[in-house]
Amino acid sequence: MTNRDGHNTMTDSTAHQHTRGDADEIELGQLVDILRNGKWLIIACTLTAALLGFVHATLSTNIYSGDAILQVDTPRNPIPGLRDLGLTPEGSATSAEMEILRSRLMLGTVVDQLDLTIAAEPRRFPVIGAYLARRHGGDEPAPALFGAEKYGWGGETIELSRLEIGPALRDEELILTALGGNDFRISTATGEFVAEGTVDKPLQVEHNGSTQLAVFVRELTARPGTEFTLRSVSRLDAINGLRRSLSISEQGQESGILSLSMEHADSERIANVLNALTQAYVRQNVERKSEEATRSLEFLEEQLPELRRELQLAEQEFNEFRSSHQAVDLEQDARALLASIVEVEEQLAGLRVETSELRLQYGPDHPRMESVAERRESLNEIKEEIEKQVSALPEKQQQALRLRREMEVSTTLYTGLLNTSQELRVARAGTVGDVRILDEAAVGGSPVRPQRSLILALSVVLGGMLGVMAVFGRAFLRRGVNDPDTLEQQIGKPVYAVVPHSKLQSRAARRAKARKEALMVLARDKPHDPVVESLRSLRTSLTFALMRETRQVLMITSPAPSSGKTFLSINLAWLLAEAGQRVLLIDSDMRRGRLHAYLQGRTREPGLSEVLAGKHTLDEVKISLLDGRLDAVTSGTLPPNPSELLMQERFRTLVADAEAAYDIVIIDTAPVMAVTDASIVGASAGASLLLVRAGVTGERETQATVHRLEQATVNVSGLVLNDFQAGATSAGSYQYYYYDYNYGSEAKA
């Protein structure tokens, strides 16, 4: 690879500006690259979400919906005969009728009628039990699966008409177990026996004179051994639960058409609840109308005797006046005043009756009482004006007018109330309510929830979105370098080689770890692998680079662990030895050295630490490979003071003697940013290679590593971008591809 550290083609600043200038042009391509490289993650997230959505939609309980429709006459038709007397009740708004339907009075009636305070249901196998029970279509209970006899697998029924639990068992979960035939046993969840009973026979358990359990099972269909859970819900809780599941709305504005809808897992329960509620509402409406007629009739019957006495007295006085004054006739003006004042008196009398009725119904402080008072005051003013006109008549005319007025007013009021009382008696006998059922409860045959197709579609969409977010999040969080051009420009060092990721090496490493075998040397076992070809390029570059150096000692290091130093070292050494050079490979990482893992049947010791400690010589610890052209020295026993051993004169002497005996010496060292070993070893090396792991090692980390080595007077000759994945660039404009170019016979081999 050509050294790009010089300025033969372009300067670093110019290249940097070119890269920045092209940033906008390659932005879309980078996004596409990121998505393409993360396609398997996106597919995995999408499939996982789709699978979870499918499982959720399949196992979720089916929810059915039903409705019923009522017609409410608003405002209500008044009771016959009350309109003329001012006793017409105010029409109730539809919203008030809706609240009546939601009231505890109505819902409590339904709870009592349908025994909704009793909850009894078969126990289901966790997760899939309810789903399998729904799919059971037979008339008989389904057989037990997986040997779980206590669970109901479909077809079980139980119906209780009474369940009373005393204080001693109130906090216990009761289990009813079918014993076969019509017999059953009741016990607590802990297995404590409570009682045994039979269907259609009351069961009562007493303790210390008080009832602890009272049960009446009307129906039980189950396989012997099937368990049912029994719970007694308070009446208030049952009412509140029913209210939450019930929805009431008006169809259209002020139409008086009420739609009652309910959702529940039991379609039969929906129909029963809606029918019971509508029938109870119609019944109470009729009873309320009859009660109003009865109350009004009682009030009128109290007023009739008094009006009859007043009428008789008025007639008597008028007749006596006519007898004593020989039948005084009223003039035309007096007759007109009489008609006006009689009309006003009738209205005032009606207001007095209405006031009494309102006081009984609403009390003296109701707003309608104020309205009636205002109307009465207005009529009194009109009456005063008429009386002023009457006072202008002759005295006999005034007296005759007064007596005639009292008689006619009393006659009109008495006759009107008498007719109204007769009409109220008829109305009470045949009261018809303001409510009627238009449509009885009807439940759809298909569930309204879950909407399986929608859930599956949303799962796929959300899974894909989650996958895309994960891919972009991973790309954002990944601070590692992926582009060799950017690496050269930012660090100012040439990239000697770009070593691609080897799936073959990864699989071989996992297999070797599982079998506890030696790791594969790729240059030996797979010489035509693209990774080996890139290392051959590195070998060529190093050959020319070392020609300029006085010492033929190469140090290979990295900023951080797990960058692939040992993998690169053993394969590069093998390729150099294959080229005819005598190579010595030394593992100087006496903390976590891994060279021995590539040597079949070899252990870590004896090795370098024993040589530096004076226990062995180089010839005693070296391992010969490739017909003696490659010698390897492992790290040896891990000492407590690796840095101190490397600083000894014995290490420098070892390197000098090896340099004289071999064509090239390769030293695999510990990471630079972790320990100081590389700085010590670099002082004895002629060239140094810094290994950067693509996608893992960042630019700042690499810069800090170069700076630390240069502070120790160690010159970094070049960089190697290892574990590079084609198309994974995040900041550059080039992608690197490797081709397997071999002869036919070799490819087949």
Query: Is 90 exceeded by the pLDDT of residue 65?
Result: yes
Looking at residue 28, its pLDDT comes to 75
Mean of the pLDDT values across residues 172-187? 91
Looking at residue 361, its pLDDT comes to 64
Query: Is 80 exceeded by the pLDDT of residue 121?
Result: yes
pTM of the model: 0.57
The percentage of the chain sitting over the pLDDT mark of 90, rounded to a whole number, equals 38
H-type helices in 478-556, by residue range?
484-491, 503-515, 522-525, 530-547
The percentage of the chain sitting over the pLDDT mark of 70, rounded to a whole number, equals 76
3-state secondary structure of 453: helix
Q: Model confidence at 427, in pLDDT bands (50, 70, 90)? A: low
DSSP annotation of 112:
H
Secondary element (H or E) of residue 575: helix 565-578
Looking at residue 328, its pLDDT comes to 47
Other Cβ atoms less than 10 A from the Cβ of 152: the count is: 28
Residues 635/640/642/644 CA torsion (nearest 10 deg): -150
Q: Model confidence at 309, in pLDDT bands (50, 70, 90)? A: confident
Looking at residue 91, its pLDDT comes to 43
Mean of the pLDDT values across residues 63-78? 77
Name the residue with higher pLDDT: 630 or 172.
630
Looking at residue 86, its pLDDT comes to 46
- Encoded amino acid at 626, one letter: L
Kindly report, residue by residue over 690-742, the tens digit of the pLDDT: 999 988 888 888 999 999 999 999 989 899 999 887 654 444 434 444 444 44
Q: Model confidence at 321, in pLDDT bands (50, 70, 90)? A: low
> How is the chain split among helix, strand and coil, in percent rounded to 5?
50, 20, 35
Looking at residue 551, its pLDDT comes to 83
Q: How far is the C-alpha of 272 from the C-alpha of 441, rounded, in Å?
A: 8
CATH ID of 480-748, from 3.40.50.1820, 3.40.50.300, 3.30.70.980, 3.30.70.260:
3.40.50.300
Q: Model confidence at 20, in pLDDT bands (50, 70, 90)? A: very low
Mean pLDDT, the chain, rounded, equals 80
Taking the domains of the chain in order of start, what are their residue ranges?
66-281, 292-434, 480-748
Looking at residue 138, its pLDDT comes to 80
Among the ranges given (329-338, 419-428, 560-569), the one the predictor scored with the smallest mean pLDDT: 329-338
Q: Model confidence at 302, in pLDDT bands (50, 70, 90)? A: low
Point out which residues pair with 175 in neighbouring strands: 187, 229
Looking at residue 365, its pLDDT comes to 72
The maximal CA–CA distance of the chain, rounded, in angstroms, is 168
Kindly report, residue by residue over 629-638, the tens digit of the pLDDT: 999 999 999 9
Closest CA to 66 of 249, 276, 269, 262: 262
Query: Is 90 exceeded by the pLDDT of residue 239?
Result: yes
Name the residue with higher pLDDT: 155 or 7.
155
Looking at residue 81, its pLDDT comes to 45
Mean of the pLDDT values across residues 575-596? 92
Q: Model confidence at 587, in pLDDT bands (50, 70, 90)? A: very high
Kindly report, residue by residue over 390-415, the tens digit of the pLDDT: 565 556 555 666 666 667 666 776 67
Query: Is 50 exceeded by the pLDDT of residue 510?
Result: yes
